[in-house]
Amino acid sequence: MRRQSDDAMTLYRFVMMIPRWWLLLLMVVPALADEGIFDQYRDLMGDDNPAIFVIDEGEEFWVQSQGPSAVTLEACDLGLGAGVTRGAYAQFPRYFADTDRVMDIETRLLYCMETLQGRDREVIAAKPYSLRGDFGTELEALVTWLAAESEGMTIAPEQAHPKERAMYAMGEEIFFYRAGPHDFSCATCHEQSNKRIRLQQLPNLTEHTEVAEAYGSWPAYRMSQGLVRTMGWRLQDCFRQQRWPGLIFGSEVSIALQTYMAVNAAGGVMTAPGLKR
């Protein structure tokens, strides 16, 4: 008891010692600590997003003849019929009868490169994303262009097929699965609203509005890397930071988590490519 009141007295004295300008500061700091901390930075940045180059590059890859078959990807069926690109991104992940599995847009593109162009899937899957020092990959460019082809459209992943619904259910289980030396799951950082890691705002991926904004802004130009990154990369890098082993490109876990996010985001709007730190 004694101890407690001493502490209270110390605290009281301490507060009384604070000069007036300091109190003003106390009012300013919480404001800075809020979401608006980078508003000034963002205002000065404007909206000139270097991803605009990557969109063009993706479109050029789409119409470029490649592989042993020397054909373009223009006959690729992204779910809306052969060659239909407008709005296709917004409906992924989805079930495809020709492969009898749920696919995200990245694995679907690899499927088209393999089946239409005759290219070796393994070679592309071995390095889908840029490494340090690279200036973008074909897959990153294609995904960026296709996301731009869905800009302004409603996020509407298919959930009609049982395999699509099973994928969602699995994604939800994985989202909360804790493992590794740090006991981290996706939920560790992404099941609460209004939280930050360091100064980065963390989207609550279990909440519709926030997951829609987050999911709809990928792929995104990452200023820290000078590259456009895709959702598939985003998941790989999350698991690296979760101290988990390496997430395999196009794996069930990757597609399940994308399904979980896309369905939670359904009804939101595609704004990609985003501009992120």
Partner 1 sequence: MAGRIKIRAQKKGELTEVKALMRHPMETGMRKDQAGESIPAHFITEVAVLHGDQTVMQAHWGAAVSANPFLGVRFQGGQSGDAVRVVWTDNQGGTGEGETTIR
Partner 2 sequence: MNDTIKGRVSRRRLLNWAAALGALMTLPARAWATGSRPETAFDATALDQALMALGQTPTRHEGVIFTTPDIAENGAVVPIRVEVDQTVLPNVSKVSVLVEMNPNPLAAVFDIAPGTEVYIETRVKVAQTGNLYAVVESDGQLFMASRETKVTLGGCGG
Partner 3 sequence: MRATLRRITLVVWIGVAPVAVSEDLASVIHASFSDSGQATLMRLEQDPLQQRCSQPRDERVDDDIAMALRQERLNAVVFPEDGNFLGDWQRGSAVAASGRGLQSNDDPSIANGGNCYACHQLAPTEVAYGTLGPSLTQYGLRGQSEAMLRYTWTKLWDTHAFNLCSHMPRFGAQKILTEQQLKDVMAFLLDPNSSVNQSAEGPSSAH
Chain positions contacting partner 2, by CB under 8 A: 37-38, 40-42, 44-46, 48, 52, 56, 189, 197-200, 223-226, 240-242, 277
Q: Please, which residues have CB within 8 angstroms of residue 129's CB and are 6 or more apart in sequence?
A: 137, 139, 140, 229, 230, 232, 233, 236
Q: Which two tokens stand for residue 4?
A: 């407690």
- Which phi and psi (to 5°) does residue 103 adopt? -125, 150
Residues 44-73 that bind partner 3 (CB under 8 A): none
Sheet holding 220-222, edge to edge: 227-229, 220-222, 274-276
Binding segment for partner 1 (CB under 8 A), chosen from 70-78, 80-88, 125-133, 142-150, is 125-133
Phi-psi region at 244: left, alpha or beta (left = phi > 0; alpha = psi -120 to 50): beta
Q: Does 223 bind partner 3 (CB under 8 A)?
A: no
At 128, the amino acid letter reads P
Exposure of 21 by Cβ count < 10 A (0-12 exposed, 13-18 middle, 19+ buried)? exposed
Q: Does 174 bind partner 3 (CB under 8 A)?
A: yes
- Contacting partner 3 (CB under 8 A), which of 251, 269, 271, 276? 251
Binding segment for partner 1 (CB under 8 A), chosen from 48-56, 71-79, 207-215, 248-256, is 48-56
The site map against partner 3 for 202-221 (x = CB under 8 A) is x---x---------------
What DSSP designation does 198 have?
T
The residues annotated with a catalytic role in the active site are 238
Q: Which residues bind partner 3 (CB under 8 A)?
A: 3, 7, 10-11, 18, 21-22, 25, 28-29, 32-33, 170, 172-174, 176-185, 187-189, 191-192, 194-199, 202, 206, 239-241, 243-248, 251-254, 256
